[in-house]
Structure 1
Amino acid sequence: MDQIQHKFVDIKDLKLHVAEIGTGDKVVVFLHGFPEIWYSWRFQMIAVAKSGYRAIALDFRGYGLSEIPPEPEKTTFKDLDDDLAEILNVLEIPKAFFVGKDFGASVAYTFSILHPERVQGVVTLGIPFIPSALVGQLFSSLPQGFYVMRWRIPGRAEADFGRFDVKTVIKKIYIMFTSSDLQVAEDNQEVMDLVDSSTPLPSWFTEEDLSTYATLYEKSGFRTPLTVPYRALPVDLGENVPNVSVPSMLIMGRGDYVLKFPGLEQYLTSGMMTQFVPNLEVTFVDEGTHFVQEQFPDKVNELLTSFLSKHA
């Protein structure tokens, strides 16, 4: 971890944090999800750097060490794609591989559609490419107590989180998202109540890891993270469903709760997804959860470096 260097890049009057290790023209950019930050890619960054790549992991605006935008609630997914393009420009990176987890996967896919000339390949974890029309179908079938529905409501998550210190909130979310079941609260229950505060952390997630996350969320707060991904406007890609044309790989833990979304597993296993991502590999990691890259880093590193070597 000590060999990972840190810098700040000035983008549109915001200082965005970038972690970096490795050198050379072959570049891999890592995009985190929620409740993650750059740190969630620590194992993968070191692995790809040892394989000869320059590894870069950023904190999205309002996350981790990156500055909070003046009006966090107005942040959109387009802002994140624009930030990404500017970071590449400042760092003088013409083209790279992009590895995205959770909503970071959405940013990676969208960036590959908006800027295909800058994308060598896309690897995503936990979230497949889902056209906006299908997203609506998926979420319309989910119960109103599902955490995403609750956190979309301004003030609801803020009040729920506010009952606990930041470290407890992050702990509860990590434990909750490690479950293979959908996180659905009853009408008289809040989402944070789905996990008892005394529940132990997963064996692969240490107290030191938790403290690292908590310290950075104490700095950033949750205003931007609750906006993106839960309340932000998606990128307008037009009426026609665009294709992700670059080489792509999806890594899913077989125990990832996302597979419980109505119709999603069939979407992945039936080949329907290849209509939109024709050059796609799908790999399932046995016993993996939504945090498969932290839970089984060696396996994910092996899959990732193999994909990179095939398409570099």
Structure 2
Amino acid sequence: MEAEIKSLGFPNPNIISINGIELEVFEAGKENIGNPIVLCHGFPEHAFSWRYQVPALAKAGYHVIVPNQRGYGNSSCPKEITAYDITHLTDDLVALLDYYNYRDAVFVGHDWGANVVWNLALLHPERVNKIINLALPYQERGEKPWIQFMEEVFGDDFYFVHFNKKLGVADAVLDNYAEKFLRNLFRKNVPLAPPEPGMLMMNLAKAEKPFGEPIMNDDDLSVFVKAFKNSGFNGAINWYRNLDRNWYLLADIDPIIKQPTLMIYGDLDMIPKFERLPDFVPNSDVISLECGHHIQQELPQETNQSILQWLEQFNA
């Protein structure tokens, strides 16, 4: 696997022991010590999803650190569901900074990785220098736990709810259809809310006629497929199984994020834009790119340009 990733131009990983687990971490721009940027992948992804951003950021002078977060790749996959709550996920990133002796860093997140970055800024604001998040906007806590709210609005079959109500069911389906699921998912402009949104993940796992054009070639896709065939999907899905737990853990936390923030949306993504973002992230800039959910893989050059231009203003 390491040789394969390296042959595709991605750096070889290190296995780092932190926070009671092991994380598989990829690095570039080690010569740029003192200028860290941490890239956090989403679901169901891999550090390799940042393959287009890593060399561009290293060339721009950043020490690029890209972990496979717990439950992914060759990182630890604890058995306990609660080992994937937001406290553990954000503490992993804090421990990663400690490992490199960094007080803080720029954090970049996509999808679930963005959720972790938003909450890292709430739980450990002193460790976050700037934020760049893709696809998933800030999530207002609301009056009801998130899964309870989604169940009331979307029903039992909505995949967030299904993951929580049917323990092990989706895990087994995705494990059995790993390659087909990932091949069907990573396509341009795949809607997150098709006519049967509840069973989206299982539908994608079994669909014979996938929607949209692929966003990666077979060599790139094989990195994801081999990683999930090795780890399984249980750890990744367990992130969803902590959403209500996270809601309670965040009860007494100041919800305002003060760090400079760039929010990047895909105009064709079915995740809605959060119009009240300035209420919770007052120091934020927002841009939209003409793409779907997998922004940094669908439009890599435009994503790189957006990130680097935004960061450049702080170096002037």
TM interval, shorter chain, is 0.7 to 0.9
Deviations 1:96-121, CA, capped at 9 Å, x for gaps? 10000111111111111222222110
Shift of 1:240: 6.0
Number of the residue aligned with 2:314 = 311
- In the alignment, the residues of structure 2 paired with residue 28 and residue 83 of structure 1 have an alpha-carbon distance, to the nearest angstrom, of 15
Number of the residue aligned with 1:15 = 22
8 Å Cα contact 2:39/2:64 also seen in 1:
yes
8 Å Cα contact 1:145/1:184 also seen in 2:
no
Q: Which runs of 5+ in 2 are unaligned?
A: 1-7
Shift of 1:200: 7.2
Q: 1:91 to 1:193 in 2, by over 3 A?
A: same
Structure 1 segments of 4+ aligned residues over 6 angstroms from their partners: none
Give the TM-score, by structure 2 length.
0.86
Question: Which of 27, 41, 52 is the aligned partner of 1:32?
Answer: 41
Question: Which of 202, 220, 244 is the aligned partner of 1:192?
Answer: 202
**Mapped pair 1:228 → 2:239:** yes
For structure 1, which segment, 216-225 or 4-13, has the greater mean C-alpha deviation from structure 2 after superposition? 4-13
- AA at the equivalent of 1:152: N
- In the alignment, the residues of structure 2 paired with residue 47 and residue 186 of structure 1 have an alpha-carbon distance, to the nearest angstrom, of 36
- In the alignment, the residues of structure 2 paired with residue 191 and residue 132 of structure 1 have an alpha-carbon distance, to the nearest angstrom, of 25
Q: Give the match's secondary structure for 1:258.
A: coil
Number of the residue aligned with 1:173 = 185
Residues 92-103 of structure 1 correspond to what in structure 2 (within 5 A)?
92-103=101-112
8 Å Cα contact 1:123/1:251 also seen in 2:
yes
Residues 122-141 of structure 1 correspond to what in structure 2 (within 5 A)?
122-133=131-142, 136=146, 139=150, 140-141=152-153
Q: 1:247 to 1:295 in 2, by over 3 A?
A: same
8 Å Cα contact 2:186/2:214 also seen in 1:
no
Shift of 1:223: 1.3
- In the alignment, the residues of structure 2 paired with residue 283 and residue 186 of structure 1 have an alpha-carbon distance, to the nearest angstrom, of 27
Q: Which runs of 5+ in 1 are unaligned?
A: 260-264
Deviations 1:219-240, CA, capped at 9 Å, x for gaps? 1111111101344531623346
- AA at the equivalent of 2:177: D
- AA at the equivalent of 1:276: F
For structure 1, which segment, 7-16 or 128-137, has the greater mean C-alpha deviation from structure 2 after superposition? 128-137
- In the alignment, the residues of structure 1 paired with residue 61 and residue 200 of structure 2 have an alpha-carbon distance, to the nearest angstrom, of 46
Question: Which of 268, 293, 296 is the aligned partner of 1:293?
Answer: 296
Q: CA RMSD in A?
A: 2.5
Q: 1:104 to 1:181 in 2, by over 3 A?
A: closer
For structure 1, which segment, 36-45 or 230-239, has the greater mean C-alpha deviation from structure 2 after superposition? 230-239
- AA at the equivalent of 1:221: G
Deviations 1:62-95, CA, capped at 9 Å, x for gaps? 2012122243564212101111111110111222
8 Å Cα contact 2:164/2:240 also seen in 1:
no
Q: 1:191 to 1:98 in 2, by over 3 A?
A: closer
**Aligned-residue identity in percent:** 26
- AA at the equivalent of 1:8: I
For structure 1, which segment, 246-255 or 86-95, has the greater mean C-alpha deviation from structure 2 after superposition? 86-95
- In the alignment, the residues of structure 2 paired with residue 165 and residue 148 of structure 1 have an alpha-carbon distance, to the nearest angstrom, of 19
Q: Give the match's secondary structure for 1:69.
A: coil
- In the alignment, the residues of structure 2 paired with residue 143 and residue 183 of structure 1 have an alpha-carbon distance, to the nearest angstrom, of 15
Number of the residue aligned with 2:223 = 212
- In the alignment, the residues of structure 1 paired with residue 156 and residue 289 of structure 2 have an alpha-carbon distance, to the nearest angstrom, of 30
Question: Which of 50, 70, 73 is the aligned partner of 1:64?
Answer: 73
Give the TM-score, by structure 1 length.
0.87
For structure 1, which segment, 7-16 or 138-147, has the greater mean C-alpha deviation from structure 2 after superposition? 138-147
- In the alignment, the residues of structure 2 paired with residue 186 and residue 101 of structure 1 have an alpha-carbon distance, to the nearest angstrom, of 21
Number of the residue aligned with 1:262 = none
Number of the residue aligned with 1:80 = 89
- In the alignment, the residues of structure 1 paired with residue 139 and residue 211 of structure 2 have an alpha-carbon distance, to the nearest angstrom, of 34
8 Å Cα contact 1:120/1:311 also seen in 2:
no
Q: Report how many aligned residue pairs link the two structures.
A: 299
Q: 1:70 to 1:203 in 2, by over 3 A?
A: closer
- AA at the equivalent of 1:11: I
- In the alignment, the residues of structure 1 paired with residue 237 and residue 226 of structure 2 have an alpha-carbon distance, to the nearest angstrom, of 17
- In the alignment, the residues of structure 2 paired with residue 34 and residue 95 of structure 1 have an alpha-carbon distance, to the nearest angstrom, of 25
Shift of 1:21: 0.3
- In the alignment, the residues of structure 1 paired with residue 197 and residue 51 of structure 2 have an alpha-carbon distance, to the nearest angstrom, of 36
Q: Give the match's secondary structure for 1:141.
A: helix
